[in-house]
Structure 1
């Protein structure tokens, strides 16, 4: 994609989708119109044409596409005035931050949690269906069906559809936070491609988190999520080498971390932690990692304690995995127990999650001196992995394991 068009896509996609959605009341019409408008823009650029303001051109084109779509539907006479008045359209685009509004739309209580997150990733971020499928550890066909059912559920609501009111937003706050966390997770480690991270999604997650804190400044979970994202972004600049090779927390140059952002994140985490919610506790864990001056000074006991509390309020598999990894750093005596616990987690979730378990197993096995077991776990972690940067990291670890002198009979 042309770089200028790619930038416009990241900035204008949610605005275009949101404005058409408000006017038409149809997620399908909004998404189809935006897709067609950007496709036409790509064709123009490929043909050598240049547009001074891509965002404005795409917005106008999407509006015309929406009119053409609605012309074939019975609702045309009702919806046309909303789409045909430029003043109304311009006001809608310029005065509202449709990104957060679209998150609240996707968090409609008519939908299941999986549908809510999938729909938000699709209509807010424009994430391809295949990438959403990888995020959930399922097939593109399954996600496509899930998205279709979500759109149909909203469409069946008929006249009750409206842009979420303040009361709706308050009711959907918890789900909105979970959805933004999903965007953050996808940005932290891209599903596929050559780069470790997806900067567009990371930036969007930060924008959404800041917007939601501006709306709910006293909500501890909103503060916790923002703290978690701020701390992750502060450390993100040092997560790879200059050529894109991923680094572990034990390897990174901590002097490259954004200290001002870390201080801001730690302050937010301190405000959130008394609430004891899932995002507040995760922010506390991130804060302990961020405040350790060296890897050796990491307070694994405190981190393990926070994971224990997190397991009680959010007993998710990813939390169990994090807790096992944290306890494995408490001493050599914990390594054998960690291997047993990690293997017990295998096969319970998705293939994607099993890859994460095998990656953790490789690290634990290496630390206990079991080189062959570590190599085998690393091979299993690599199977099906689509992120080239992650695969490069696994390759580097495999080389290290092969070169290390034999020091164990395991």
Structure 2
């Protein structure tokens, strides 16, 4: 049985201590035994020089629920600091993810602070490799020392419940980005993409939250938000809006993806959209296969209240632990997405709004089914190679990998914090 001590992140567990069901996932889904892809010398040189600023990574779910250090190479999942460095990553939004299971019993705010505490401890534990970044100058300073820069991002701000005092407390702890909507759950101030609307976007409490985030200099992240929430947030904010991990609805018609009109609106305000790396968002053929074989929609949360009823927060920990890290599904090669398929989706967005508004938000360890031949974060240079095959200039590649997100992050944080 998992213990409270492990959940608080104090134990550096040996692999044998990991939850048995997690090892079952490893046995069936691990890509670590795949051969390393062949990358052109030009792509490797460009990738090594670029700032790779990933807008969304589930960097610490595994360590919170199963112990260990993010600074140690893991046989489990898609991301750790060692492999991230090998993949050329220089900075990343570290998702402080609060699963929906904590919400029915109103444990979400406590869990948010537990997860922030755990993240700060992990960053301190691995200070020789990574540092917390509060603004764009920090990112450049940290990178100059040869370290990775981490930006804390609350995923599913229902843990705030719209409380501006809690928002300010999280800001003081170092959180610099918050998603307006719950992961896929309704809440008290902003409608989510995949739940019935309550407010037709934002209510006045939600609008107050945006104003306070503007004042503090926090990134307003609209991933997982409803169309109306996204539209209203863009209109209300006095700085650009960021969507850290999205896809295009014109490619895969699911509510989690961004429609063209909203992407244009986001770009017109100077915002940036990060592309989630998985086939659930970007490849309809593979998504259809996955949906058929899951026998339910990917974001079905209807059974959660019954499953968590009467449980303590530590029992909820035990309930959700086996799902982390969230590994991509195994799919037949006949329906598997290729890297060039994924870059074609990115290219469509660039044709729509230009190269200054598109970035990467991989969602590693958050469930994406990776492209054919991609093992994990080590293989991000496969995307650079595919972009070169598509005729992209080095300038466009640099903007995609980090230039655009860094520019907006600087604009939001430079006069604040």
Asked whether the two chains share a fold, i.e. TM above 0.5, the reply is no
Tell me which structure has the larger Cα radius of gyration. Answer: 1
Which one has the bigger helix percentage?
1
TM (norm. structure 2) is 0.28
| TM norm structure 1 | 0.28
- Comparing both structures, which one devotes a greater share of its residues to strand? 2
Structure with higher RCO (Cα < 8 A, 6+ apart): 2
